[in-house]
Amino acid sequence: RFNTAIAKVTELNNHLTKAGGPLSRSVAERLVLLIAPLAPHIAEELWRRLGHSDSVVHQDFPVADPAYVVDETVTCVVQIKG
């Protein structure tokens, strides 16, 4: 699951990077919060570079909006000889 989590955050980062232009501060902060449990030392450094004096570990983890959550499972019906 660790590899999957890192892969999804990397995929999100790549998508945001390809969108062009600088990231908004709130998006950058949320990305740092997402990587904090996976790479705490790097997240702490990035959090400080964003100008925060408190530790990233004391922040609430971002909560997903159910309206944007998409199930990755697809049901495919196959008919054989019929």
In a domain, 79, yes or no: no
For the entire predicted model, the pTM comes to 0.74
Instruction: Show contacts of 54-59: CB within 8 Å, 24+ apart.
Output: 56/32, 59/33
Q: What is the pLDDT of residues 52-62, one digit of tens each?
A: 999 999 999 99
Total structural domains within the chain: 1
- Domain hosting 45: range is 2-68
Collect the ranges in the chain with pLDDT lower than 70. 82
Question: How far is Cα 60 from Cα 11, in angstroms, rounded to an integer?
Answer: 22
In a domain, 75, yes or no: no
**pLDDT at site 79:** 86
In a domain, 77, yes or no: no
